[in-house]
Amino acid sequence: MPRETVIIECTEARKEGKNPSRYMTTRNKKTMQTKVEKMKYNPSLRRRTLHKEIKG
């Protein structure tokens, strides 16, 4: 099965000393070789921020 579940974490929250938000998403291993990056909402910062894939 080519799809895998990945965890993405906020990149800006740790710089500001707040809790980073995390989301689960999927990606297709065969077509997407790079790490996932998405704009998602962070409730502790109250705005949309860039979330990048982390190991997990």
Instruction: For residues 41 and 48, give the distance between their C-alpha atoms in angstroms, rounded to a whole number.
Output: 4
Residue 55, pLDDT score = 80
Mean pLDDT in consecutive groups of 10 residues from the start of the chain, 56 residues: 92 93 95 95 96 88
**CA distances from residue 25 to 10, 15, 21, 28 in whole angstroms, order as listed:** 14, 24, 13, 11
Pairing status of strand 22-28 against strand 3-10:
antiparallel
Residue 2, pLDDT score = 84
